[in-house]
Structure 1
Amino acid sequence: MKNLIKVLGIFMLVVFSATAIMSCNNDDDPADNDFFAGTYNGSIKYFDGDTTKTVDNGKVFVTKIASGTKYNFAFSDGIADLNGVEFQKEGDNVLVSVGSSATSYIRIDNNTLKMLYVKDGKTWTANCTR
């Protein structure tokens, strides 16, 4: 009887895990979710005054942090991360960074990430899709 309970417990754990993994997809909308995590693939670039790094097939892992309006951007290929960027919702499914200007702009939705962000002499750019 104990073995049956163990087998059923493991089976339920596997079913729950598979369901949780399959429910995460690219249709998640960063503007409408309380929690968001997604990977965008495409062209990324970083400049810090001394070095420039350009990657045509890079990745940006985007997460919405606990505040609900701030996002973190983790770049692949050794590019410095960009954390705590504040956003506001624009339209139904689009987020635009607060304080956007001609030299600082991030636009994100469930399919695309467009970025030109300048801070402390460093520049991040991204043109990516999911």
Structure 2
Amino acid sequence: MKQLLKFLSLALIVGTVALASCSKDDNPADNDLFVGTYSGTTSYTGVPSGNGKVTVVKVGNTYKFDFRDNGDIPSITDVTIAKGDEGYIGTANGYTGIIKFNANNLNIAVTKSGNNWTADCNR
């Protein structure tokens, strides 16, 4: 019985990951679960503009933007954007600025606590 439960748990986890991984045609605004990576130019306070990647993770209406490959750029986390909206202009969870995205492009220009994030990326 324990083996069956382990197998079913593993199958559920694998299925969830497979469903959460999205094709390049998927728009994060249209999904409740989304994981996608955009590549292009990124920067952060103290990190010069350079080639980097931003992985977008969406669960429900909550987004995380995880920066990689261009220095030590902290993630933008817990940003709430309503389903169907392709970003925001204003202030959300302490981040002020613009986050704009669709299936092909991601643009970020936000500030929080004196730090600035930018991204101009494509998928």
TM-score by length of 2: 0.71
Among 58, 63, 72, the alignment partner of 2:64 is 72
Unaligned runs of 5+ in 2: 1-10
- Greater strand share, structure number: 2
Query: How far 1:86 moved relative to its partner?
Result: 1.7
Provide, for residues 43-89 of structure 1, a one-character-per-residue CA deviation record: whole Å limited to 9, x for no partner. Answer: 00001xxxx11242200010002xx2110011013211110112135
SS in structure 2 at match of 1:31: helix
Q: Is the 8 A contact 1:75 1:81 kept in 2?
A: yes
Pairing 1:17-28 to 2, within 5 Å after superposition: 20=18, 24-28=22-26
Matched, 1:59 2:53: yes
Q: How many residue pairs align between the two structures?
A: 103
Stretches (4+) displaced over 2 A: 97-100
* Alignment-derived partner of residue 31 in structure 1: 29
Q: Partners in 2 of 1:74 and 1:25 — Cα distance? A: 18
SS in structure 1 at match of 2:119: strand
TM-aligned CA distance change 1:42 to 1:126, over 3 Å? same
TM-aligned CA distance change 1:107 to 1:24, over 3 Å? closer
Q: Partners in 2 of 1:86 and 1:33 — Cα distance? A: 14
Among 73, 77, 80, the alignment partner of 1:83 is 77
SS in structure 2 at match of 1:36: strand
Matched, 1:119 2:112: yes
> 2:44 is matched by which residue type in structure 1?
Y
Among 98, 104, 110, the alignment partner of 2:97 is 104
TM-score by length of 1: 0.68
Could you tell me the percent identity over the aligned residues? 40
Q: Partners in 1 of 2:78 and 2:89 — Cα distance? A: 11
